[in-house]
Structure 1
Amino acid sequence: MSTIGPGSEALVSIDSNLLGIASTPYRTVIAPSQDLERLSPADGLCLADCRSHAPVFAGMVVAAASRHYVPSRALSVRALLQLPRLARTDGVVSRRRVIAELNHCAARLRHDQQSLSELIPRDEYGLSDLRFVGLESAVADRIFGRLHYLRSARAGSMNFALVDPLNRLPVTLCSVSPLEWKRVGRQLRTQFGIPLEGAWDVSRVYSFDVAPANAISYLLGRVRQWIRRELPTAQVLTTAVDPNLGFTGSSYRSANWQKWMSIAARPYLYVDGLYATPRQLRARFGDANLSHLRATHSEHRFEQSRARLLNSAIFCSRLRGETEQVAPADCRVLRR
């Protein structure tokens, strides 16, 4: 255990060798009594109903999560990432295809859980019992690489977590990286006077089902305190919130972050039926242009969503002083 900064609380770095515990079944959910698979499979669900967790979609998620013994919250996000691939231009997906995709996503999520079962916390603790720590990259990368909906970690990040007091397993974790999004950086400089080198991005967040209420907002508050103390040139934290995945930014608002701008939506991209970011495409194939990829990698299937998607919100938190609200008229929509 080492203390970071005068008068600061201990910030512990977790060694991956200390994280082995006996594997036990993952926490499950209860399926509703109604047999959802008998519901008019030809009828469609619109993406708006899915991302708002309308009762029919919510019931489908719970049924699939129960069948595969996976957490319904994580399953819902993964499915929402995949459903735009299946939606028509009007945003409608047949119930049959929604059910099939939920089961595919649940099976993959179950496999991902099993691959790092020794890192999954199973005991519930109150927020005051959890410890704020610096998390070893090897541990954070495994969790983000398997359980985060993007299934990847951001290289070169600092990682932080709230860990349980007994097994010291991460319950809620995040990664923080220098801001690389130059369009956001330019807007921060132009509108708020913040240089690019003063902006740091919360690039990944993941919370296990056993996390107590408000764990994410509490972790964000502790991260803000640490960065303000240890990185004197840092001025602001940023993050992107994608409402197409059902995210509303409530944890950021609870931590006193504010929406400062938006990013115009672009189609989701897929390789062989699985979502991929442009960054992942460039890392894997050297290009993110689907026309080029289809011409040069015919052994793979490249697709993009056709339905209209919602803009992502950029939430920000000043590291010193209060984070000001931005009036809707002054909240710029940035093009990608």
Structure 2
Amino acid sequence: MSHPFCHIVPLRRRSVLLGGAALLGMLSSPAWSQEVARIYVGFAAGGVTDLAARLLAPALSAELGQTFIVENRPGASSALAIKAVEGSAPASHTFVLYPTLALLGFLLNGQQPALDRITPISLLYEQFAVLAINPQVAGLENVRTLQDLLQVAKAKAGTLTYTSSGVGSTGHLAMEWVCSLAGVKMQHVPYKGGAPAVTDVLGGHVGTIFADSTIIAPHVKSGKVRALAINYPVRVPGFAEVPTVAEQGFKEVSAVPWVVLAGPPGMSDAAADRMAAAVSRVLAKPDIAQSMQEQNMVPRHSTPRETRQLMQRDMLAWRKIIEDNGIKL
């Protein structure tokens, strides 16, 4: 499957046929259900995931002729929101935005994500992380690529520090993944959130950061930090001159943060397929795609089968990094 940034990734032929069948089904019945559908979000209102849900809800209402509302249940890396759906009946109209962060939360606590207690429906969006340095920090003045940084790390024999949005964040794990492949060591300086991490990088207390693009982008544009790499399959607008991690010799680092839409356990294949087809039509709307891209979300859709395969594949990849590096909360 290709990865164009500015266009919704097309469904496979089977999915397109499914979307057509779902559309015909909609035309034959005015509403999927009269029951109010709930989309649970595991974060407080105002964040990126909440924004995605509030873009999705009214659009799905229009597509399916059913009322969709968003309900925030923040806490425990979205585990509380996920549990609300895990305990729902198969035919209930309850859904959750399931992020990579939740998957990592379970793994970091030594738990197996219970993917059999939900029904994966479709990808909604992916995100990308940016590896950047403060070039004012001693030793990093001439670092302009990922390989440059790794050479400095090697010379410093494991004492070079970097930070991220927190222990077990995708930036933390991606950096450890790269270091493992390169055979070098760097010391992770943990922070509780991206904002304090960025503050200390700007202040020169830590020279390197690997974190979500939304918190790094303003400082790259101002020239206060220098972007070395992005962790995404292709280059992206706003960072067109910044090569990907894969371009710089680390094609194995393939997992990126995502959010998928999931339903209750035991949801029928027909219902999951119809919902996935509706999501693909919603994400194809130019206004919705643009709103998401403005927040550095990359709109993506997939079939239920593809979604489950993605979650299982990334679970194995992240678990290996966590276990190999002894990472714990």
TM-score, with normalisation over the residues of structure 1? 0.24
TM-score, with normalisation over the residues of structure 2? 0.24
Higher relative contact order (CA 8 A, sep 6+): 2
